[in-house]
Amino acid sequence: MAHDIRAAVLTAVGEPLRLTAIELPEPGPGQVRVRLAAAGVCRSDLSLADGVLRQPVPAVLGHEAAGTVVAVGEGVTGVAPGRRVVLNWAPSCGACHHCAALAEPWLCERANAATTVPYARDDKGRDLYPGLTVAAFAEETVVPERAVLPLPDGVPLTDAALLGCAVLTGHGAVHRSARVRAGESVAVFGVGGVGLSALQSARLAGAERIIAVDVVAAKESLARAAGATDFVLATDSVTREIRALTGGRGADVAIECAGRAESIRAAWGATRRGGRTTVVGIGGRDERVSFSPLELFYTARTLTGCVYGDSDPATDLPALAGLVRAGRFDLSLLVTERITLDDVPEAVAAMRTPGRGGRALVVFDGAPRT
């Protein structure tokens, strides 16, 4: 039996999302139906809406979410109705070369297989696709069992949505990709949801100097609350200012969360000789970042891309939940606005203009807070 629910639908690339009723089927074999409690509005949703990331349409976007299992399909054994879960937008298959041979589940070759398979129908009877597997800008969703992660007790369900993308990505960028060590200096470019997570994670890693960089001066207080010791505006002098704050050398680690060519270049330039630059932000396919061969040789820096924080959600989520329960990681610091499903189209469109703080968090009607 199908269920009528409300969702924010992307009908075509570049068009505004549209609130409408959709028809969601019961979960099939190996699938789980989840009632959403909350969903974060991530810049990757804008990348999908604008065609930077490929996604079949019409689609329901939203990939950072938490909720409660309401039904399971045949063969599902890992969760049961009533279980609180965080949704995983890149579920690993466990069998491909990256998963089985290389132990790199964040690079799973089949992680996004579900995005190309219709999962529901819109109000005109057309097939709908799940944005990044999850389709969280809706009251309920149906996902593969591999895309649900049991949420440990003691973590508020609504704020737990942030664990599904911003926190796993930012924390992993610091601890897994850049491997920040105690006493090092870290520069984080972009004070959004992922950047705020990276700042908190750098503090947890014992970084001595944590420099936040953004184009919006008003984000300084937010950055400092998350752990930044310094704040630098993203101007033409940002590289010089970071070098001045780090004894003229540059930061040991720079983490770029904005996904812009000029920001990546600035992060690279602000990294000390022999340091590490980690790129988390998703940039456009037509942008270019230039380096000279002599520069690459002389600086001996490492430039690394970072997908999903190089994280294994199945093992990293419980560890992060423990940090939250212990009061060492504050999920609420990432949330600068709580909105409803009706506000989603405007919230996604607003990301085209710099100035938003951390995450806009969609909190669904009747969602339990604990």
Residue pLDDT, tens place only, 178-200: 999 999 999 999 999 999 999 99
Residue 2 pLDDT level (bands cut at 50, 70, 90): confident
Give the integer Cα–Cα distance in Å for 115 and 337. Answer: 28
Domains defined for the chain, CATH in brackets: 3-166+310-363 (3.90.180.10), 179-305 (3.40.50.720)
Q: What is the pLDDT of residue 370?
A: 52
Whole-number mean pLDDT of the chain?
A: 94
pLDDT tops 60 at residue 331: yes
pLDDT recorded at residue 256:
98
Given this model, what pLDDT does residue 199 score?
A: 98
> Is it the case that residue 366 has pLDDT exceeding 80?
no
pLDDT value at position 102? 94
Distance between CA 177 and CA 119 in Å, rounded? 34
Higher per-residue confidence, 355 vs 256? 256
Which residue is associated with the tokens 């999903």? Answer: 308
Give whole-number Cα distances, 287 to 52, 330, 343, in Å.
11, 35, 31
Per-residue model confidence as pLDDT tens digits over 264-282: 999 999 999 999 999 999 8
Least confident of 215-219, 233-237, 362-366: 362-366
Whole-number pLDDT of residue 368: 60
Q: What is the mean pLDDT of residues 162-174?
A: 97
**What pLDDT is attached to residue 191?**
95
Give burial (CB, 10 Å; 0-12/13-18/19+) of 246. buried
| pTM, full prediction | 0.94
pLDDT tens, residue by residue, 39-65: 999 999 999 999 888 899 999 999 999
Burial readout 284-294 (b: 16 or more C-beta within 10 A, e: otherwise): eeeeeeeeeee
> pLDDT digits over 70-117, tens only?
999 999 999 999 999 999 999 999 999 999 999 999 999 999 999 999
Q: How confident is the model at residue 24 (pLDDT cuts 50, 70, 90)?
A: very high
Is 90 exceeded by the pLDDT of residue 352?
no
Of residues 194, 176, 168, the one with CA closest to residue 253 = 176
Characterize the bridge pairing of strands 148-150 and 84-87.
antiparallel
Model pLDDT, residue 367: 65
Share of the chain above pLDDT 90, in %: 90
